[in-house]
Amino acid sequence: MFAHIFMKKLSDLKVGTKGIIKEFTDLEMSVKLMEMGCLPGEEIKLERVAPLGDPIAVAVSGYTLSLRKQEASTIILQ
């Protein structure tokens, strides 16, 4: 459980920064995210944030994906 102390959520990244997807905190959401290319081991980069902070645009698996902050908070990065 202590390993999670040093891990970041995708929703915590700053624009232009990258991370490697490690795992998900929500099983149901993880299936949806993996179908969209968010697979463990994939590099993901925060590209843009909407003016009010939601949604966000990320680059993953060779394309840009728009996610809600709630969805992004379920992705744990290395």
12-69 tens-digit pLDDT: 999 999 999 999 999 999 999 999 999 999 999 999 999 998 999 999 989 999 999 9
65 closest CA partner among 56, 74, 52, 75: 56
| Secondary structure letter of residue 46 according to DSSP | E
Residue 1 has what pLDDT? 45
| Tokens (6 digits) for 19 | 């991370």
Q: What is the rounded distance in angstroms from the CA atom of residue 67 to the CA atom of residue 55?
A: 5
pLDDT at 15: 96
Q: Is the pLDDT of residue 5 over 80?
A: no
> Which H helix or E strand runs over 70?
helix 69-72
For residue 55, what pLDDT is reported? 95
